[in-house]
Structure 1
């Protein structure tokens, strides 16, 4: 019999909608027969009516209870795990609320505002024996898994450099103004935590996660931030990460690798949205490279380009079953971990989430990007 996981949803429209729609798709359409999902409760921080509206709009099957507060949601004994997709600024407080209530947690990226908050979440989850995971959906795509496996198998030799870009060109002033979460410091706005995390995801899953645990070492960081003139949030950030190891074998002759992670809201990595500009991700080894296409967070194909004399170019394309977004794969991982009694995912380990938060802390320190004290705080509970 398939293992059933019962979800409670903290509603934030865009992410919550996509995630729940994927949850409602039949797992069999993606060849998952060992697990299944049910949305049993939804809460809006603004009103019960908003939660009811969400349930109606997404046609969530009964029984599904609507709540007008997150406190009521985490108190529901029928809920196994809470999905948190609130603004970055609120992740720490919301996740602590769920953990303190004894609920397992899947919390959207960026995990928290800073590494100090992330460490406390991890300590709390472990102390209480609860599952906790950062919802970096891209890591669970079959494409991402295949790329990591190719690297570990030495398909392009020793990997020494990865370039990753997650950028979208727009008129920020008219699109975001000063209140939108993308630029609002009170909501931990800016490119880094919202988009740059995907560039960092590709750097880490190819240059860090592909190594055995005892060889994974944090990088040194050099970075440059361009502030958005209306609020001070970052509108463009470029990061150079230098790892004291290469991958997959931590090469005997040269032990280093570099990652270049970029993000911007003024220029696009795919200007015509037709792929003409080339891959947003390039993973470069001494025997060739792997190029990943479309967008960093939702790639659709990759290409292996061997060094001359080492084979033929090969392209592999992927589809999203049942016309999903691809968020169901991370939900399936949560379900399997809960079924198996695991407190974290091996694909997105809590230690790695902390290291990535430490990298972003350092990038913000170098760029002088500071958020309001209340959302940087590790105090709990704290009303925001």
Structure 2
């Protein structure tokens, strides 16, 4: 019996910043690497688009070690209109996700867009409608959802290992001393209001991730929670700290994030999240975006620690593999990270910002391009 050739997906990388380089390097890793288990798919970086010059794209291609045959473009328009590109990875700041994803969708391209999908839910809804109109695949790049560790934890919860889950607590706080680190001009994207800065939309989504994939994703009813929040602002008007309380029908989620304090100040192994059930809990290692172990704690039993080290890649290849398989199988969205789920999360983020009085300029909140 002949061996079936792997499905090939040709990528266009939109933007040339740090996150784009990390993702692109992961695309270039072997699909047969330990823990990858993706020999059924194959990825090609077909083209790279820079916003200002072709040389910038060329330099990026050299930096990541992509083949010399990779096409370099000096504009995003050229990139999305390349007929040899199947899917666009949108890696610009999230203040620009809406416009750049819409650009790719209008060109008929599949899209993987970095998190958070957009700045607000209204923008996300328009993108979903456009993707469905064009009949293309689209997904928010919440990479942690596709870790083998995440699959295992979701399965443990589904199997009732810790009983009925009643509460999930999660935190991602990284003390960055923002007044000094990002001052005095306050132009850094983390605190820049014009770039939709703040802790919530950047690192806070990872705190919410562990609540969302447990209390929302695993519930067939997909209940939308009531939202309470406490937000402390930075001097630019963005949030520096936020604590979010999500009220689900039979459970509660508590998510927190901060630019001024640390989840694990001395790296002593404090968990970033605790999924608490009637029989015990699952403790997830810090940091929330890239945990490499978890501990199962059952009342009256010995604790069990499970190591899931990420080898051979940064951890973004698994989401790329998901895109390839979905497109190969004719799916327009992922069952692991569906579009309505992304929209529901954006609605939560909108509500937290509303409570905290965090508003961005109309130029980036707009649904017009």
Same fold (TM over 0.5): yes
User: Are 2:71 and 1:68 equivalent residues in the alignment?
Assistant: no
User: Distance between the aligned counterparts of 1:192 and 1:294, measured in 2?
Assistant: 17
Structure-2 residue corresponding to 1:241: 246
User: Distance between the aligned counterparts of 2:248 and 2:106, measured in 1?
Assistant: 36
User: Distance between the aligned counterparts of 1:143 and 1:332, measured in 2?
Assistant: 16
SS at match of 2:283: strand
Q: 1:221-279 CA distances to partner (integer Å, 9 max, x unpaired)?
A: 000111112x11100010000111xxxxxxxxxxx10000000000000111342xx10
What's the offset of the Cα at 1:61? 1.0
User: Distance between the aligned counterparts of 1:312 and 1:154, measured in 2?
Assistant: 18
What does 1:257-336 align with in structure 2 at a 5 Å threshold? 257-275=251-269, 278-308=270-300, 311-322=301-312, 324-336=313-325
User: Distance between the aligned counterparts of 2:68 and 2:330, measured in 1?
Assistant: 28
What's the offset of the Cα at 1:62? 3.1
| TM-score normalised by L of structure 1 | 0.93
**Residue 135 of structure 1, aligned match among 138, 141, 157:** 141
Question: Which shifted more, 56-65 or 345-354?
Answer: 56-65
What's the offset of the Cα at 1:12? 3.9
User: Distance between the aligned counterparts of 2:82 and 2:226, measured in 1?
Assistant: 44
What's the offset of the Cα at 1:210? 1.2
User: Are 2:345 and 1:356 equivalent residues in the alignment?
Assistant: yes
SS at match of 1:299: coil
| TM-score normalised by L of structure 2 | 0.97
- Unmatched tracts of structure 1, length 5 or more: 245-255
- Unmatched tracts of structure 2, length 5 or more: none
User: Distance between the aligned counterparts of 2:109 and 2:151, measured in 1?
Assistant: 28
User: Distance between the aligned counterparts of 1:63 and 1:9, measured in 2?
Assistant: 14
Structure-2 residue corresponding to 1:366: 355
What's the offset of the Cα at 1:174? 2.1
Structure-2 residue corresponding to 1:53: 59
Q: 1:152-180 CA distances to partner (integer Å, 9 max, x unpaired)?
A: 00000000100000100121022112100
Structure-2 residue corresponding to 1:224: 230
Q: 1:30-70 CA distances to partner (integer Å, 9 max, x unpaired)?
A: 22110010101001102111111000111101320000100
User: Distance between the aligned counterparts of 2:51 and 2:76, measured in 1?
Assistant: 6
User: Distance between the aligned counterparts of 2:356 and 2:147, measured in 1?
Assistant: 32
User: Distance between the aligned counterparts of 1:274 and 1:318, measured in 2?
Assistant: 18
User: Are 2:27 and 1:7 equivalent residues in the alignment?
Assistant: no
**Residue 25 of structure 2, aligned match among 21, 24, 27:** 21
User: Distance between the aligned counterparts of 1:197 and 1:320, measured in 2?
Assistant: 21
CA contact (8 A) 2:14 2:91 kept: yes
User: Distance between the aligned counterparts of 1:171 and 1:197, measured in 2?
Assistant: 20
What does 1:71-150 align with in structure 2 at a 5 Å threshold? 71-150=77-156
What does 1:193-208 align with in structure 2 at a 5 Å threshold? 193-208=201-216
User: Distance between the aligned counterparts of 2:68 and 2:161, measured in 1?
Assistant: 48
Q: 1:170-195 CA distances to partner (integer Å, 9 max, x unpaired)?
A: 21022112100001111100001001
SS at match of 1:165: strand
Give the number of equivalent residue pairs.
361
What's the offset of the Cα at 1:345? 0.4
**Residue 327 of structure 2, aligned match among 331, 335, 338:** 338
